[in-house]
């Protein structure tokens, strides 16, 4: 049983879908504080739809300037606009952006001029050029995406696959036409190109759908980060620190493994704010967050649970000595926090620590004890650590 696709139907479907997605992207552009990548992607969809429509009307209109030249102008412009949108979306530095935009403008003008001189009414010439340009653009896009160290990774992965397929398809088109010109084509050129065109239309639709997905997953992730993280330091906020702490506690309880909680409070922080201003205080808080990240392991849970109050949940092993870790933290803060951004802040902190023991039935029990130990450390003169009850019979070994 032969498989046939009615090309005009597919073409019309692609035009309709691209116009619809273009409209959706334009609406996102209007809604999202005029984020320009969406306008560029909307225009890319419309350019693709216009190009497809003009190219498809070749059967009815005998005007190569419209059905070949103009059609391919739109079809070539479409991937350029997608690339320009991606560049805007990931927002590089102003200088890089300017250079990139000049580069894209130069490629667009070069493409128009080459098309103008080369097409000579022959659709194959125009297809060859557009395919060559598209293959190059998709390769640049894949290269750019793979250089990005960004999340969410799923839509980026989808786009990379789609762009790679686009690139390979466009290169096949170049090769099929090239082979035909050289007279070494074993395939029926019309059939080969038709197959490529069908795949290209399907891929263009998939790409148009993947672009809003990229945007929505990114904003969803931003919202999650805003809900979970402390805006000033990027550490866990109070709520997520408790959530992660409870998870770690339950896990340690189940596996009967040790863990520790450290509650840290900066000393005389009010004086720093009063003397050097709130901005210097904020900088000091960021410095403490950086220090904690640097001194602790990646799987330790670090949060800012109040103004100048931090909490760390340590997943320790039996060999780890919490006192040594705690001393290291206090020393790092006191030694490196003498001067922050040229200001003599002389930061120091106090820590209340506790190791999980059989008397703890919940994470909150550990937090209460750590808090009491912190209170103790403050009372005993600050810049020191005090620990909860660590008697051998109650401590997990």
Ligand X SMILES: Nc1nc2c(ncn2[C@@H]2O[C@H](COP(=O)(O)OP(=O)(O)OP(=O)(O)O)[C@@H](O)[C@H]2O)c(=O)[nH]1
Tokens of 6: 């009615």
Does 307 bind ligand X (CB under 6 A)? Our answer is yes
Q: Tokens at residue 149, please?
A: 């160290």
Q: Which of 96, 194, 278, 328 binds ligand X (CB under 6 A)?
A: 278
Residue 192 to residues 9, 48, 75: CA-CA distances in angstroms?
Answer: 19, 21, 19
Rounded to a whole number of angstroms, the minimum distance from the CB of residue 310 to ligand X is 12
**Of 103 and 306, CB closest to ligand X:** 306
Site size toward ligand X (CB under 6 A) is 16
CA–CA dist 128, 19 (Å, integer): 25
C-alpha to C-alpha distance for 383 and 272, rounded to whole angstroms: 15
Q: Choose between 170 and 347: whose C-beta lies nearer to ligand X.
A: 347
- Beta strands in the chain, from DSSP E residues, in sequence order: 260-266, 301-306, 309-314, 339-340, 343-344, 349-355, 385-387
Q: By CB under 6 A, name the one of 185, 199, 257, 273 that touches ligand X.
A: 273
Nearer to ligand X, 247 or 278 (CB): 278
243 or 382, CB closer to ligand X? 382
- 308 sits near ligand X (criterion: CB under 6 A): yes
Smallest separation (angstroms) from ligand X to the CB of 370: 15
In the block, tokens 């019979």 appear at 393
Segment interacting with ligand X, rule: CB under 6 A, options 185-193, 262-270, 290-298, 357-365: 262-270
Residue in the block written with tokens 């210097």:
280
For 268-296, the DSSP string reads: THHHHHHHH-HHHHHHHHHHHHHHHHHHS
281 belongs to the binding site for ligand X (CB under 6 A): yes
> CA 64, CA 72: separation in Å to the nearest integer?
11
- Binding-site member from 132, 159, 241, 285 for ligand X (CB under 6 A): 285
DSSP per-residue string spanning 223-236: HHHHHHB-TTT-SB
Shortest spacing between CB 322 and ligand X, in angstroms? 22
Cα separation, 55 vs 58, whole angstroms: 6
User: Which range touches ligand X (CB under 6 A), out of 14-22, 179-187, 269-277, 354-362?
Assistant: 269-277
- Contact segment (CB under 6 A) with ligand X among 45-53, 103-111, 241-249, 261-269 equals 261-269
State which residue, 229 or 315, has the beta carbon closest to ligand X: 229
Peptide bond into 152 cis (omega under 30): yes
204/288 with CB nearer ligand X: 288
> Which of 122, 220, 250, 282 is close enough to bind ligand X by CB under 6 A?
282
Residue 375 token pair: 């209170």
Shortest CB 271 distance to ligand X, Å: 6
Longest Cα separation, the chain: 94
The two tokens of residue 321 are 């000595």
Binding-site string for ligand X from residue 208 to residue 247, where x marks contact by CB under 6 A and - marks none: ------------------------x---------------
Q: Is 259 or 266 the residue whose CB approaches ligand X more closely?
A: 266
Taking CB under 6 A as the rule, does residue 289 contact ligand X?
A: no
- Does residue 122 interact with ligand X by CB under 6 A? no
- φ, ψ for residue 180, nearest 5 deg: -65, -40
Interacting residue with ligand X among 267, 355, 369, 371 (CB under 6 A): 267
Please give the C-alpha separations between residue 109 and each of 12, 75, 102, 354, in angstroms, as whole numbers: 29, 14, 11, 68
Per CB under 6 A, residues contacting ligand X are: 232, 265-270, 273, 278, 281-282, 285, 307-308, 378, 382
């Amino acid at each position: 049983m032969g498989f046939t696709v009615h090309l005009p139907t597919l073409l019309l479907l692609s035009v309709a879908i691209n116009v619809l997605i273009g409209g959706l992207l334009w609406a996102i552009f209007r809604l999202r504080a005029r984020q320009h990548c969406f306008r560029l992607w909307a225009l890319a969809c419309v350019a693709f739809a216009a190009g497809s429509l003009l190219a498809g009307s070749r059967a009815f209109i005998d005007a190569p300037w419209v059905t070949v030249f103009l059609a391919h102008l739109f079809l070539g412009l479409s991937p350029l606009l997608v690339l320009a949108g991606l560049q805007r979306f990931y927002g590089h530095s102003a200088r890089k952006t300017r250079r990139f935009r000049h580069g894209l403008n130069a490629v667009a003008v070069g493409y128009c001029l080459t098309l103008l001189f080369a097409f000579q009414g022959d659709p194959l010439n125009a297809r060859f050029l557009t395919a060559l340009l598209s293959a190059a653009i998709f390769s640049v896009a894949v290269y750019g995406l793979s250089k990005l160290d960004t999340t969410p990774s799923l839509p980026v992965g989808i786009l990379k696959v789609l762009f790679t397929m686009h690139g390979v398809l466009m290169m096949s088109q170049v090769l099929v036409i090239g082979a035909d010109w050289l007279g070494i084509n074993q395939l029926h050129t019309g059939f080969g190109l038709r197959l490529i065109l069908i795949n290209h239309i399907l891929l263009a639709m998939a790409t148009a759908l993947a672009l809003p997905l990229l945007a929505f997953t990114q904003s969803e992730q931003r919202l999650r980060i805003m809900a979970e993280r402390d805006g000033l330091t990027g550490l866990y906020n109070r709520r997520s620190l408790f959530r992660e702490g409870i998870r770690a506690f339950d896990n340690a309880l189940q596996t009967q493994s040790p863990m520790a909680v450290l509650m840290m409070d900066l000393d005389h922080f009010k004086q720093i704010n009063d003397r050097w201003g709130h901005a210097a205080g904020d900088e000091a808080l960021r410095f403490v967050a950086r220090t904690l990240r640097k001194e602790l392991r990646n799987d330790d849970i670090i949060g800012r649970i109040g103004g100048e109050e931090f909490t760390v949940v340590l997943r320790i092993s039996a060999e780890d000595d919490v006192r040594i870790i705690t001393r290291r933290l206090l020393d790092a803060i006191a030694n490196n926090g003498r001067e922050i951004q040229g200001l003599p802040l002389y930061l120091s902190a106090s820590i209340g620590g506790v190791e999980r023991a059989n008397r703890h039935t919940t994470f909150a029990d550990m937090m209460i004890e750590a808090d009491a130990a912190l209170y103790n450390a403050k009372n005993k003169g600050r810049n020191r650590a005090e620990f909860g009850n660590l008697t051998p019979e109650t401590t997990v070994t």
